[in-house]
A and B are shown apart, each in its own frame.
Chain A
Amino acid sequence: MNNKPKIGVYVCHCGVNISKTVDIDAVVEFASRMPNVKVVRDYAYMCSDPGQLLIREDIEKEGLNRVVVASCSPRMHESTFRKTLAAAGLNSYYLEMANIREQCSWVHEDKEEATAKAKKIVYAAVAKARLLEPLYEKEVDVEPATLVIGAGIAGIQAALDIANAGFKVYLVEKTPSVGGRMSQLDKTFPTLDCSACILTPKMVDVANHPNVELLAYSQVEDITGYVGNFDVKVRKKARYVDVNKCTGCGVCSEECRLKNRIPSEFNMEMGKRAAIYLPFPQAVPAKYTIDPERCLFLTRGKCGKSPKCVDACSAGAINFEQEDEIAEFKVGTVIVATGFDVFDAARKPEYGYSDYPNVVTGLEFERLVSASGPTGGAVVLGEGEDAVVPKDIAFIKCVGSRDASVGNEYCSRVCCMYTAKLAHLVMEKVPGANVRIYYMDVRAFGKGFEEFYDRVRREGIRYIRGNPSEIFKRGEKLVVKVEDTLTATPLEDEVDMVVLAVGLEPRKDAREIIDILRLSQSGDRFYLEAHPKLAPVDTATDGVFLAGCAQGPKDIPDTVAQAKGAASSALVLLASGKVKIQAQISVVDQSTCRGCGYCVEICPYGAIDLVTVNRMGNLAQAAEVNEALCKGCGACAAACFSGSIQQKSFMDRQILPQIAVLGVM
C-alpha cells in the first residue's frame, strides 16, 4: 500500500466558540498550503454526525490516510474522532487533534493573535500527522479466576462475591485459619453486634464454597505476568497434620507436653496454647497445626518416648514427615487484602507499656472482654488468687496515630469508636467502674457513630481532653500525667489500668507483597491506590485491586464495602473475559539498544526486562517491553541515551517536527 501521507484537515467552528476569535477562513487557506494536505474543510460542529460524516466520506472518496481535526482538546473528543476514522476503515491512530479551542480561541481575545496561533497549532499537528503510524489495540484473554491474598473480612467478602458470580477464587491465608483481625474482636461498634456471630458464618461459607479453593497456612511466593494472565506460586506450609484425616477433635492439643505453655497469638499472647493447636475455637478450617518453632519433636527430634499427639490421634493424622508444598495456578485478577498490624505501644515508652502489666493495648483489652478470651470475658488483672478487678480505668487515644514522632501522621479511623465500645463494655462488665478517656479530638464520623458516642457519655464515661505525657507507678496505682486542656488543669490521675488505643499500621511484612506485585506505598506506607478519588480500589498494576486495611485504616463496614468494590472491579474483567491492551506503548529497537537497563529501572510498571539477543552470533542484552504491562507513559523513552526505546505516537521522530514547526513559525 502506498502510504504517502494524504492528510485531511478539518477545522471546527464549534458554533462560535472558535470562530469568534479565530479567523477560520485564514486557517483553512493556510492549511491548504501545508505539505501533504489534500483536503481542508471547516464545519460548524465537527463532532456532530454531519461533521463526522464529512471526514468519513473524504477518507473513503479521497483516499485520505491521515486526519487532523482542529477543534477542541483531545481530552474532549479524541476518542470520538478515533471512532470516526475506524468507521471509515482507517486505523484510528492516524488521527491528530489540534486544540484550537481550550488552548487558543478561549484564552486569546485578539483575533489576529488567536488566528496566528491556531495556524501554528494546526501546522504542528500536520507535521506530526505526516509521521503517524497505525497502532493496534490488542486484546488478551482473561483467565477466569482470582487470587485473593488475605482471608480477613475483606478477603472473605471479596472471595465470596466473586465465587458467587461463578468464578474460581484462590483464597490464600498466611495463618492457619481464616478470619483475620475481625475474629479477635468481641463486639463491633456502633451496633455492638457480636463479631464472631456475624463473621463465623462467612468463614464457613467461604471455606465450603465450591468455587473457592482455600489455601490456609500458605504464602504467596511469586506472581508473574500481567492483567488477565498472572502466574501464581503459593507455598503451602507443612502443618505436620494431614488435614484430610484430622477431625479437629483436639485430643492432641490436650495431650501435648507444651499445653498451656506457648503464648497464644490469637489472644495477643495473654492466653496460652499447646504446640499443636487450633488458633481459636471457631477456626476455619478446623484443622490442627503443629508450631514448627515450638514443637519439641520438630525442634529437638525428641518428645518423650514418643510424641504424645501421635499417640493421642486416633485418626493417625499427625505426620512429622510432611513438607511444604508449592501450588501453582493461573488467575486473571488479584485482590490484595492483607490487612494491618496494630501499633507497637512499646514505641511510646512514656506510656510504660513495656514496664507495667496493667498498661494494655486496645486489642489486648478486646481479648480480655471477649468470652472466648483468656479470662473468659472477665475484666481482671493478674491470675488466680491475685486476680483483681480494676475499677479505675483510663483509655488513651491516638497512641501511634496522628503522631509525627512515630512516623504516623494519619488518623487510624477506628480508635475513637473502638475506645467508646470498649469503655461501654467495661461499664457493662465492671459494676461501679470509673472510666475516663483521654483524647485529642473525637472523630465520630460514621453512620451511628455520633449517637453511640453520645450514648457512652450518658453511661457515665468521662471524656477528658488532653494528651497524657507520662504514665508511672505510685504504689499499686498507675498515674496518668496529663493536662486537661479544656480547663488548663494539670492532672495526675490515679488508675488501676490503662488501655492504649493503639492505631493501625501497615503490616510488618507489607514489603513482601510490594516486591511480588510491584505495588507502591503512599506516604503513610499503606498500599497506594491508583487514584485517591476515582480509583480507590485499583492499583497501578492493571488487574490488581486493594481491599481493606492494606490500603489504609478503615472500619468493618468500609472494609466490606471496599472488598465488594474490589470484587466488582475484578468481576468486570472476569466477566468480559477479555482485556484491551494500550496501543500507545513503548517499543524497543533491539538492534541499537545497549542494554544499560535504565528503562528497566525507571519503568514504574515493571514492563521492561532485559533479554539476551543474538547480534550476528554475539550475545548481548537488550530491553524488551511486555506489551500487557506497559501503560504508555514514555518515561523510558526520555531516559534512553541511544533513542532505542520509543513510545508509539510520541516518538522522537514525531515530536521533533512539532518542535521545528512551533520554533520556526
Chain B
Amino acid sequence: MSAEYQPNIVAFLCNWCSYAGADLAGTSRTNYPSNLNVIRVMCSGRVNPLFVVNALQQGADGVLVSGCHPGDCHYMEGNFYARRRFGMMKELLEYVGVEPGRFNMSWVSASEGAKWKDVVGEVVDKAKEAGPFKQFRRDKINW
C-alpha cells in the first residue's frame, strides 16, 4: 500500500438495490478501492440521519447512503423519505463546516455493478480531498 492518505468511509446500503449492486460488482470481479465499509440495512429509509453524525463522531472520514432509484424501492417509498432526510442532513452538515465531499448519497440498482464501482471511486476521491475528519471526532471510542 502506498503512503497516500486512505480515508475510512462507512456506507449504508439497502439490501435490495445497492447491496445487491455491490454484490454484482463482486460477481463481475470489478476492482475498486477498499476504503468503503458497508453496513447492510433493509432499506435506505431505515438509515437514521443521526447515523451519519454518529459515524463521523466515531471515526469515519466520510459517509455514504445508497438506495434504490426513486420509484424502485422494494418498500415503495423508503428511498423517498431517505432522500428528504439526507437532503436536509447534508445541508446541515455543510452549514457547520463539514466538507461537502464527506457525506454522499447515491442510487445504485441491483443491476448497476459498474455504477457501484464508480460511486465508490467518487466517494473515496472526495473523502481524500477532504482529508482526515477531525472536526467532531471522538478522541476515545468505546466499542
A residues at B contact (CB < 8 Å): 73-76, 99, 101-104, 106-110, 112-114, 116-117, 120-121, 124, 127, 520, 523, 528, 540, 584, 602, 604, 631-635, 637-639, 647, 650, 652, 655-665
Contact = CB atoms under 8 A, between A and B. Distances in A.
Contact of B22 (A102, A114, A584, A634): A102
A573 to B, nearest CB: 21
B106 interface: no
Contacts of B32: 107-108
B76 A604 contact: yes
A106 B46 contact: no
Nearest to A605: B75
B58 A664 contact: yes
Contacts of B40: 74, 99
Contacts of A120: 37
A639 B78 CA distance: 11
A660 B43 contact: no
B43 A103 contact: no
Nearest to A112: B1
A106 B39 contact: no
A124 B37 contact: yes
B23 A75 contact: yes
Most buried by A among B22, B25, B58: B58
Given A110-B1, A647-B46, A657-B143, A663 B22 contact: no
B66 interface: no
B55 A650 contact: no
A662 B32 CA distance: 18
Given A114-B34, A117-B34, A638-B47, A656 B54 contact: yes
Contact of B143 (A107, A108, A127, A633): A127
Main secondary structure of the interface of A (DSSP, over half): helix
Nearest to B28: A106
B77 A121 contact: no
Given A107-B25, A662-B10, A635 B45 contact: yes
B42 A107 contact: no
Contacts of B3: none
Contact of A634 (B25, B26, B37, B41): B41
A113 B8 contact: no
Contacts of B117: 107
B69 interface: no
Contact of A662 (B30, B31, B60, B77): B60
Contact of B30 (A107, A124, A631, A661): A107
B60 A633 contact: no
B143 A660 contact: yes
B136 interface: no
Given A73-B26, A113-B1, A655-B39, 9 more contacts: A107-B30, A632-B42, A635-B45, A638-B47, A639-B81, A657-B143, A660-B59, A660-B141, A663-B8
B39 A101 contact: no
Contacts of A528: 76
B43 A107 contact: no
Contacts of A540: 75-76
B107 interface: no
B75 A659 contact: no
Contacts of A113: 1, 34
Contacts of A637: 46, 48
B143 A75 contact: no
Interface in B66-106: 71, 74-78, 81-82, 85
A633 to B, nearest CB: 4
A647 B15 CA distance: 14
A520 B54 contact: no
Interface of B: 1, 8, 10, 15, 19-20, 22-23, 25-27, 29-32, 34, 37-43, 45-49, 51, 54-55, 58-60, 71, 74-78, 81-82, 85, 117, 141-143
Contacts of B37: 117, 120-121, 124, 662
A109 B31 contact: yes
A104 B27 CA distance: 11
Contacts of A634: 41-43, 45-46, 78
Contacts of A112: 1
A663 B46 contact: no
The 4 closest A-B pairs by CB, nearest first: A663-B59, A634-B46, A102-B26, A635-B45
B55 A659 contact: yes
Contacts of A76: 23
Nearest to B20: A75
A103 B38 contact: yes
Given A638-B85, A664-B143, A106 B59 contact: no
A658 B59 CA distance: 12
A650 B51 contact: no
Nearest to A540: B76
A104 B26 CA distance: 8
A662 B8 contact: yes
A102 B32 CA distance: 12
Contacts of B81: 602, 635, 638-639
B17 to A, nearest CB: 11
B117 to A, nearest CB: 8
Given A102-B22, A663-B58, A664-B58, A633 B75 contact: yes
30 contacts: A73-B19, A75-B23, A76-B23, A101-B26, A102-B23, A106-B27, A107-B32, A110-B34, A113-B1, A540-B75, A584-B42, A604-B75, A604-B77, A633-B42, A633-B43, A633-B75, A634-B41, A634-B42, A637-B46, A637-B48, A638-B45, A638-B47, A638-B49, A650-B41, A650-B46, A655-B41, A659-B51, A660-B142, A662-B60, A663-B55
A544 B76 CA distance: 16
Contacts of B48: 637-638, 652
A542 to B, nearest CB: 13
Contact of B26 (A106, A656, A662): A106
Contacts of A124: 37, 39
Contact of B78 (A108, A117, A633, A663): A633
B27 A631 contact: no
Nearest to A114: B34
Contacts of B76: 520, 528, 540, 604
B16 to A, nearest CB: 9
A183 to B, nearest CB: 35
Most buried by B among A99, A112, A635: A635
B34 A108 contact: yes
Contacts of A108: 31-32, 34
Contacts of A659: 10, 39, 51, 54-55, 58, 60
B23 A73 contact: yes
A660 B31 contact: no
Contacts of A660: 58-59, 141-143
Most buried by B among A75, A120, A657, A662: A662
A665 B34 CA distance: 13
Contacts of B54: 656, 659
A635 B30 CA distance: 31
Nearest to A633: B75
Contacts of B75: 540, 604, 631, 633, 635
A633 B78 CA distance: 8
Most buried by A among B22, B37, B55: B37
A581 to B, nearest CB: 16
